[in-house]
């Protein structure tokens, strides 16, 4: 009997399995499809902070998670021998017309809130690092906290590390009859939890993305008006993503991908000559609170929920997995109140 069974092999489930196995737990992961088969198997991998203002516990935790990510992913790579594609190369964003003063105010707040670890800089667009982009105001923001990660390689790196640590990954959908179980089963898990509790705690939001071939592995990512442009180490660039509440087919791409790609090419003209490699669609788990859901499953002894990493799953997984392991393995509850699953 495993010390801990984790249902679901997305980034939350795999990261928790890695942390628990490193602490000496006997870990089993059960996944009904394949590791990274759901939303964790996408293309984009943008690990970016919230704006440095109106600071709150969620923003502080995300900052801590981004700061600790380099060590976590280096440990994963060293353990399993697979590169997750992590690099903290920053992010460039055009400053909207009329918002230059706000950009400077945020730069000042970042100096205090980011504790000297990273900077939020306001630069002339023609002096920004990386790929040239369209910035009608003539100014851009360059933050040095954002990082990129290749989602599929990151999942593969975690799987390789778990193999080295002796953890088991099995195909199936039936939990054990007894023992500690953590449910990290994506949007389908949120729907099951909502049905069990008799109230909506979360749902799925479909996203679509595109992968292009354009080698610029050391360039920072670009973000504007919901469009992410993320250069990866393997010579590809990911473009993402849509956010669709209503959809018929969870894994089928459509014309919304074309619109997304055209927006990216307008923002960054260098993408116009880049060959398209593939497209992806999947459904991401979004809790009603917009924060991840963590904690004991009400009414189910020794069962726990670790879900809802909508858009911030890869950024938050390392830090949240440590907190979740404290709860499940040691009975220590340090879950932030805004993240904790409750009866009400």
Residues 175/7, Cβ–Cβ less than 8 Å: yes
Percent share of the chain, pLDDT over 70 = 99
- Nearest-angstrom CA–CA distance, 208 and 250: 10
Average pLDDT of every residue of the chain: 96
Residue 279: left if φ>0, alpha if ψ -120 to 50, beta else—which one? Answer: beta
**What does the pLDDT read at residue 1?**
56
**What does the pLDDT read at residue 290?**
87
Is pTM beyond 0.95? Reply is yes
**What does the pLDDT read at residue 342?**
82
- Nearest-angstrom CA–CA distance, 174 and 196: 17
Q: Domain 4-47+151-201+288-330 is classified in which CATH homologous superfamily?
A: FAD/NAD(P)-binding domain (3.50.50.60)
List pLDDT tens digits, range 81-105.
999 999 999 999 999 999 999 999 9
List pLDDT tens digits, range 155-213.
999 999 999 999 999 999 999 999 999 999 999 999 999 999 999 999 999 999 999 99
As a three-state string, the secondary structure of the chain is CCCEEEECCCHHHHHHHHHHHHCCCCEEEEECCCCCCCHHHCCCCEECCCCCCCCCHHHHHHHHHHHHHHHHHHHHHHHHCCCCCCECCCEEEECCCCCHHHHHHHHHHHHHHCCCCCCEEEEEHHHCCCCCCCCCCCEEEEECCCEECCHHHHHHHHHHHHHHCCCEEEECCCCCCCCCEEECCHHHHHHHHHHHHCCCCEEEEEEEEEEEECCCCCCCEEEECCEEEEECCCCEEEEECCCECCCCCCCCCCHHHHHHHHHHHHHCHHHHHCCEEEEEEEEEEEECCCCCEEEECCCCCCEEEEECCCCCHHHHHHHHHHHHHHHHHHCCCCCCCCCECCCC
Q: Which stretches in the chain have pLDDT values below 70?
A: 1, 344
- Residues with Cβ within 8 Å of 46's Cβ and at least 6 positions away in sequence, in order, are 91, 146, 148, 221, 223, 228, 230, 240
Residues 280/301, Cβ–Cβ less than 8 Å: no
Strand-pairing partners, residue 210, are: 239, 279
**What does the pLDDT read at residue 215?**
98
- Nearest-angstrom CA–CA distance, 311 and 285: 9
The dihedral through the CA atoms of 296, 300, 302, 305 has a sign that is negative
């Amino acid at each position: 009997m495993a010390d801990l069974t984790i249902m679901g092999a997305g980034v939350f489930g795999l990261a928790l399995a890695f942390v628990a196995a490193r602490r000496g737990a006997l870990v089993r992961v059960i996944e009904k499809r394949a590791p990274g088969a759901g939303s964790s198997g996408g293309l984009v991998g943008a690990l970016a902070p919230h704006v440095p203002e109106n600071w709150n516990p969620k923003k502080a935790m995300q900052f801590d998670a981004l700061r600790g990510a380099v060590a976590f992913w280096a440990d994963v790579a060293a353990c399993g021998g697979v590169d997750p594609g992590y690099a903290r190369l920053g992010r460039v964003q055009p400053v909207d017309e009329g918002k230059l003063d706000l950009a400077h105010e945020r730069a000042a707040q970042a100096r205090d809130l980011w504790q000297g670890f990273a900077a939020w800089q306001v630069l002339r667009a023609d002096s920004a690092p990386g790929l040239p982009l369209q910035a009608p105001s003539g100014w851009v923001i360059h933050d040095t906290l954002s990082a990129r990660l290749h989602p599929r390689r990151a999942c593969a790196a975690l799987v390789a590390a778990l193999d080295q640590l002796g953890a088991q990954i099995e195909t199936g959908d039936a939990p054990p009859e007894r023992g500690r179980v953590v449910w990290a089963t994506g949007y389908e898990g949120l729907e099951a939890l909502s049905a069990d509790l008799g109230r909506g705690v979360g749902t799925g939001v479909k996203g679509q993305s595109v992968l292009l071939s354009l080698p610029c592995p050391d360039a920072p990512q670009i973000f504007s008006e919901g469009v992410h442009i993320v250069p990866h180490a393997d010579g590809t660039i990911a473009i993402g993503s849509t956010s669709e509440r209503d959809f018929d087919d969870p894994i089928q791409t459509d014309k919304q991908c074309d619109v997304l790609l055209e927006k990216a090419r307008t923002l960054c003209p260098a993408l116009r000559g880049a060959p398209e490699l593939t497209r992806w669609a999947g459904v991401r788990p979004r809790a009603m609170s917009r924060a991840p859901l963590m904690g004991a499953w009400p009414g189910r002894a020794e069962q726990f929920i670790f879900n809802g990493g909508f858009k911030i799953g890869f950024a938050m997984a390392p830090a949240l997995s440590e907190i979740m392991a404290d709860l499940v393995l040691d009975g220590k509850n340090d879950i932030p109140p805004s993240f904790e699953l409750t009866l009400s």
